[in-house]
């Protein structure tokens, strides 16, 4: 019994001695991690300041900056690991990384998928920070494209973090991809109004609005509706959402003022009611409309 107690005591003393001996190495490794964090931030700022003068592509610039930041962290963690555990060799670390990468790949499939999608988006540059996009139910301005998520600021001032895999696999409407953007505005007139008179009035009103581009020139199309003639005014503006909405409001005001000046009336929705004597017809609608009063 005393032999067993002695062995346990010796084992505990060895563990305690090893722990005390490892404390300085652990402290040094912790300091290395802190220095790595500081150095990675400094390098990211320096890389950003250097590349912004050399590379015009924002996406490529972001890809290089983030890659350098991650690389510095990997090197710092390796140095800290070797410092804390001197018995570790490079082969052991690489083998550990190989096993870990398999486990991470199985556990964090979504993270890996978003990481790869982010790198491809930064390389292909389908859109850049500052572009306005619509993807699924989200619409707004791209603030930053990261390795895992893309940051979007909605028009209501809300920040959305979209996983890059969604942007890479789902349809994305890029509103600012072109230099101009078309708006279609519907206006209805009744059949008693001459279309040949309304067309020039509409065009003159639209052209007079500041913000409506002259090239491509505005056009007006017409189609028959239910009891009305539907006119579609098509004009072009700069692609930013605020410019589109502000110009649309001005166009509506200009058309309304032009119609008032020329006496063109925009018809209101009309409802026709039929009244008949239910006692006379015993609750049945008559086949002939002669006895129906319209009001």
Lowest mean pLDDT among 9-13, 24-28, 73-77: 9-13
114 belongs to a structural domain: no
Which whole number is the average pLDDT over 35-45? 85
> 214 φ, ψ to 5°?
-85, -15
Q: Stretch 275-295: mean pLDDT, rounded?
A: 54
* Residue 95 DSSP SS3: helix
Give residue 106's pLDDT.
52
Q: Is residue 68 part of a domain?
A: yes
- Does residue 75 lie within any of the structural domains? yes
- Greater model confidence, 164 or 45: 164
Both 64 and 147 in a single domain?
Answer: no
Does 232 lie in the same domain as 293? Answer: yes
Asked whether residue 1 is domain-assigned, the answer is no
Residue 16 pLDDT > 50, yes or no? yes
* Residue 204 confidence (pLDDT): 93
Q: Is the domain of 288 the same as that of 187? A: yes
* 3-state SS assignment for residue 135: strand
For residue 69, the enclosing domain spans 20-107
Q: What is the pLDDT of residue 88?
A: 63
- Say if residues 184 and 233 touch (Cβ distance below 8 Å): yes
The predicted-structure confidence for 201-222, as pLDDT tens digits, reads as follows: 999 999 999 999 999 999 999 9
User: Are 183 and 295 contained in the same domain?
Assistant: yes
- Taking the C-alpha atoms of residue 40 and residue 44, their distance in angstroms, rounded to an integer, is 6
Structure tokens at 245: 């909405």
Same-domain status, 243 and 261: yes
Among 17-26, 117-126, 253-262, which range has the highest average pLDDT? 253-262
pLDDT of residue 103: 52
Are residues 159 and 191 both part of a single domain?
no
What is the number of domains present in the chain? Answer: 3
Model confidence band, residue 90 (pLDDT cutoffs 50, 70, 90)? low
Instruction: Label residue 8 by pLDDT band (50, 70, 90).
Output: low
Can you give the CATH number for the domain in which 191 is found? 3.30.70.100
**282 and 183 fall within a common domain:** yes
Residue pointed to by tokens 């994305």: 172
Indicate whether 143 belongs to any domain. yes
Reduce the DSSP state of residue 90 to 3 states and report it. helix
Contacts of residue 235, defined as CB under 8 A and 6 or more positions apart, other chains included, come to: 182, 183, 185, 206, 212, 213, 218, 219, 251
* Contact residues for 159 (Cβ-Cβ < 8 A; gap 6+): 143, 151, 152, 153
Cα-flanking dihedrals φ and ψ of residue 287, to 5°?
A: -70, -35
Identify the bridge partners of residue 162 per DSSP, sorted by sequence position. 150
In a domain, residue 2? The reply is no
Residue 291 is predicted with a pLDDT of 46
Is the pLDDT at 173 greater than 90? The verdict is yes
**Higher-pLDDT residue of 211, 90:** 211
pLDDT band at 282 (very low <50, low <70, confident <90, very high): low
Q: Are 36 and 76 in contact (CB under 8 A)?
A: yes
Checking if the pLDDT of 132 tops 50, the result is yes
- The answer on 264 and 192 residing in a single domain is yes
Report the DSSP beta bridge partners of residue 134. Answer: 139, 173
Give the lowest-confidence range in 17-21, 36-40, 221-225, 244-248: 17-21
Residue 95 has pLDDT above 70, yes or no: no
Shared domain check, 279 and 203: yes
pLDDT at 105 over 60: no
**pLDDT at residue number 104:** 52
Do 141 and 224 sit in the same domain of this protein? no
Tell me if 6 is assigned to some domain: no
Same domain, 206 and 165: no
pLDDT score recorded for residue 295: 40
Asked if residue 183 and residue 141 are part of one domain, the reply reads no
Residues with Cβ within 8 Å of 231's Cβ and at least 6 positions away in sequence, in order, are 186, 187, 188, 189, 195, 198, 199, 202, 220, 221, 222
d(Cα 88, Cα 81) in Å, to the nearest integer? Answer: 8
How many C-beta atoms surround the C-beta of residue 86 within 10 A?
A: 9
**Residue 146 domain-assigned?**
yes
Mean pLDDT, the chain, as a whole number?
A: 80
pLDDT at 233: 95
Q: Containing H/E element for 1?
A: none
Q: Kindly report the CATH number assigned to the domain that includes residue 143.
A: 2.30.30.60
Show which of 77, 107, 137 is a domain's final residue.
107
pLDDT confidence band for 257 (50 / 70 / 90): very high
The answer on pLDDT for 200 being more than 80 is yes
């Amino acid at each position: 019994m005393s032999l067993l107690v002695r062995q346990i005591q010796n084992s505990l003393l060895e563990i305690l001695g090893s722990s005390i001996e490892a404390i300085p190495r652990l402290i040094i490794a912790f300091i290395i991690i802190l220095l790595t964090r500081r150095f990675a931030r400094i390098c990211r700022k320096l890389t950003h300041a250097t590349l912004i003068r050399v590379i015009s592509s924002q996406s490529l610039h972001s890809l290089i900056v983030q890659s350098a930041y991650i690389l510095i962290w990997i090197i710092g963690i390796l140095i800290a690991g070797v410092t804390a555990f001197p018995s570790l060799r490079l082969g052991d670390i690489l083998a550990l990384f190989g096993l870990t990468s398999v486990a991470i790949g199985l556990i964090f499939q979504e993270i890996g998928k978003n990481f790869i999608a982010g790198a491809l988006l930064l390389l292909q540059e389908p859109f850049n920070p500052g572009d306005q996009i619509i993807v699924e139910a989200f619409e707004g301005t791209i603030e930053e494209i990261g390795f895992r998520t893309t940051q979007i600021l909605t028009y209501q001032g809300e920040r959305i973090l979209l996983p890059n895999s969604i942007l890479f696999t789902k349809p994305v409407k890029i509103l600012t991809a072109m230099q101009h953007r078309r708006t279609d505005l519907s206006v209805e007139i009744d059949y008693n109004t001459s279309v040949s008179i309304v067309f020039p009035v509409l065009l003159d009103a639209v052209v007079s609005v500041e913000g409506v581009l002259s090239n491509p020139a505005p056009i007006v199309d017409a189609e028959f509706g239910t009891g009305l003639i539907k006119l579609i005014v098509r004009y072009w503006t700069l692609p930013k959402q605020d410019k589109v909405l502000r110009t649309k409001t001005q166009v509506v005001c200009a058309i309304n003022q032009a119609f008032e000046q020329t006496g063109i009336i925009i018809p209101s929705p009309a409802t026709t009611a039929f009244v008949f004597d239910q006692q006379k017809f015993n609750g049945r609608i008559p086949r002939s409309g002669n006895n129906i009063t319209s009001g």
